[in-house]
Structure 1
Amino acid sequence: MPKFAANLNWLFTDLPMLERFDAASSAGFKAVEYMFPYDYDINHLAKKLEDLNLSQVLHNMPPGDWAAGDRGLGCLPDRVDEFRKSVGIAINAAKALNCPTVNCLSGIAPAGIDLALLEQTFVENLRYAASEFAKNDIHLVIEAINTRDMPGFYLTTSAQAFDIIEKVGSDNLTLQYDIYHMQVMEGDLANTLSENLHRIGHLQLADNPGRHEPGSGEINYPFLFRHIDKIGYKGWIGCEYKPAGDTLAGLGWMKI
């Protein structure tokens, strides 16, 4: 059975953020992930992880102004300086939290900008970020997100992501493969995982439709978990789903 990390932006959301760490630990999770640590006292987060013997396995780079609609800076030609500053911010947070992997969000593709320029910007930004993260023994991933949940997001399929990764040409860049997003966009989950395992650095899950827990929708998770074990994936799978009911009561899927 794979290893599961609680995504604290999606699970135990009836609790304040810092209490979600305790709830995840009490539920049996040994690792957590969440979108952004930057609005919290990093020392408090690190102490919480240490006290509960939890590993933080992922967070994202600063996304820009999330409240204003930003969903990352990676492909934005007019914000390269801001992106480069965000690399240092993300590195400092990851080092403080002993977080081995950081996700770079590509951002929303601006209207009227040539797609070739967006790709060039993203590739050059990733080349810089992957190098800086490597100097600090932190791995960089990128994530494709479905166009239904996040219209306009630049990076939307695994094929596009693998093409970007190849163009960047860094050993320190792989894909964060979100099973839910890729089921919506392309399906063929097992084959994609098998054929590209060497280019996948992190997994996340939810079922479809509804983005609820495994077993609530169309994805055959018992088969997929066996397949993930069979092909030799040793990393964590982030539980980035919206519980259909109470988080704790809905964790029975972890025993399938």
Structure 2
Amino acid sequence: MKRSDFIRNTGMLVGGSIVSANNLPSLSRVKEKTFNLDYAPHQGMFKASAGANFLDEIQYMYDLGFRSIEDNGMPGRDVQEQQKIGELLAKLGMRMGVFVVPKGGNGANTLAAGKQEHVDIFLKGCRESVEIAKRVNAKWVTVVPGDYERKLPIGVQTANVIEGLKRGAEIFEPHGISMVLEPLSDTPNLFLRYSDQAYEICKAVNSPSCKILYDAYHQQKNEGNLINLMNQCWSEIAYIQVGDNPGRKEPTTGEVNFKNIFKWLYNKGYKGVVGMEHGMSKSGKEGEQALVNAYREVDSFLK
């Protein structure tokens, strides 16, 4: 599933009115126990129960026991909406997970080519992301270096990516923000696809503002051997996302043993966000309950 399809399918750019965090209507439900790991849902996952308003849904997520959210499309929201989301997250004590840096190297705008116009677009997106992050108190932003440049040797492409990311890191470092590089499985045309490749790049950039986003769904497709490779690259991994394979749905719907993966993360002392960047196996309220049940099941082993 392409990132653009995922954003469209999960409704992360849903419009509609926004209410003030201080005037948020209460949702009549009993607050559930906080999860052991910090799972982060997206807008639309609880729309059937909470409604289309994102602030209502964030409150509903909190009541279900979630303590973070993700929103890849945050840059597409207007400033007022970003501010109100940030205010509500602060009020609830929730964390903002990743959003995608605008024009952050996706597709043909590739850092691997070493073209100045591509670097300029990327750096403009980095500067815009700093201001967005301030409104929602985000500490991580997703970056994908873009497509493979077939006219250049892989070593030259890698050097080009490293140099571009060093420039981006200089923008983010003063603000304590980490751009997290995400190896993807969407297409073989992408430059960044493997965890060891991302590890090599982050080591070369050598900045706290350039780390790895390890998405178990993509890496199960690309390379497997998830726990072993996470362990080898652990010093550079700052963020985790999940989705089962095949299908990119919630844990327990595919072949990935998330009970063992989450137990490994928990025992490793991971305190970061676990982004729920996946679809749902069922629709409506039934699907929402199945989603919560799946996370309760895999989380119950973490004691």
TM-score range, shorter chain: 0.7 to 0.9
Unaligned 5+ runs, structure 1: none
Using the TM superposition, give the Cα deviation of residue 16 of structure 1 relative to its aligned residue in structure 2, in angstroms. Answer: 4.4
Query: What's the counterpart of residue 29 of structure 1?
Result: 66
Quote the residue 2:266 is aligned against: 229
Q: Structure 2 residue aligned with 1:6, among 28, 41, 52?
A: 41
Q: Is the 8 A contact 1:63 1:105 kept in 2?
A: no
Q: Is 1:239 aligned to residue 285 of structure 2? A: no
Q: Report the Cα distance in structure 1 between the residues aligned to 2:78 and 2:276, rounded to whole angstroms.
A: 24
Task: Tell me how far apart the structure 2 counterparts of residues 71 and 242 of structure 1 sit (CA, whole Å).
Answer: 26
Q: Which has the higher contact order (CA 8 A, sep 6+)?
A: 1
Instruction: Indicate the residue corresponding to 2:249 in structure 1.
Output: 212
Q: Percent identity?
A: 26
Give the equivalent residue in structure 2 for 1:133.
172
From 250, 253, 256, the counterpart of 2:294: 253
* Corresponding residue for residue 77 of structure 1: 114
> Given the superposition, is the C-alpha separation of residues 51 and 34 from structure 1 closer, same or farther in structure 2, using an over 3 Å criterion?
closer
Cα deviation digits, residues 217-255 of structure 1 (max 9, x gap): 111111111111111111110001110113412220111
Partner of 2:96: 56
Structure in which a larger fraction of residues adopt strand: 1
Deviation at 1:117, TM superposition (A): 3.6
Q: Which of 138, 141, 158 is equivalent to 2:195?
A: 158
User: Would you say how many aligned residue pairs link Structure 1 and Structure 2?
Assistant: 250
Point out the more displaced range, 164-173 or 20-29. 20-29
1:253 partner amino acid = A
Measured in 2, the distance between the counterparts of 1:36 and 1:113 equals: 32
User: Cα offset for 1:94?
Assistant: 0.8
Output aligned runs, 1:158-197, within 5 Å: 158-197=195-234
Residue of structure 1 in register with 2:54 after alignment = 18
Structure 1: distance between partners of 2:105 and 2:61: 28
CA distance in 2, matches of 1:144, 1:65: 12
Counterparts of 1:145 and 1:234, CA distance in 2: 23
Q: For structure 2, list consecutive stretches of 5 or more residues without a partner in the other structure.
A: 1-35, 298-303
State the shift of 1:44 in Å: 1.3
Q: Deviation of residue 83 (structure 1)?
A: 1.4
Distance of 2:226 and 2:250 partners within structure 1: 17
CA shift for structure 1 position 118 = 2.5
Q: 1:13 to 1:151 in 2, by over 3 A?
A: farther
Quote the Cα distance in structure 2 between the aligned partners of 1:41 and 1:132. Answer: 22
Q: In the aligned structure 2, how far is the partner of 1:72 from the partner of 1:100?
A: 24
Out of 80, 93, 97, the position equivalent to 1:43 is: 80
TM-score, with normalisation over the residues of structure 1?
0.88
Deviation at 1:114, TM superposition (A): 4.1
**Structure 1 86/49 Cα, relative in aligned 2: closer, same or farther at 3 Å?**
closer
Structure 1 or 2, whichever has the larger Rg, is: 2
CA distance in structure 1 between the aligned counterparts of 2:37 and 2:145, rounded to whole angstroms? 28
The separation in 2 between residues aligned to 1:219 and 1:116, in whole angstroms, is: 33
**Where do 4+ consecutive residues of structure 1 move more than 6 Å?**
none
1:218 alignment partner, SS class: coil
Q: Which of 25-34 and 118-127 deviates more?
A: 25-34
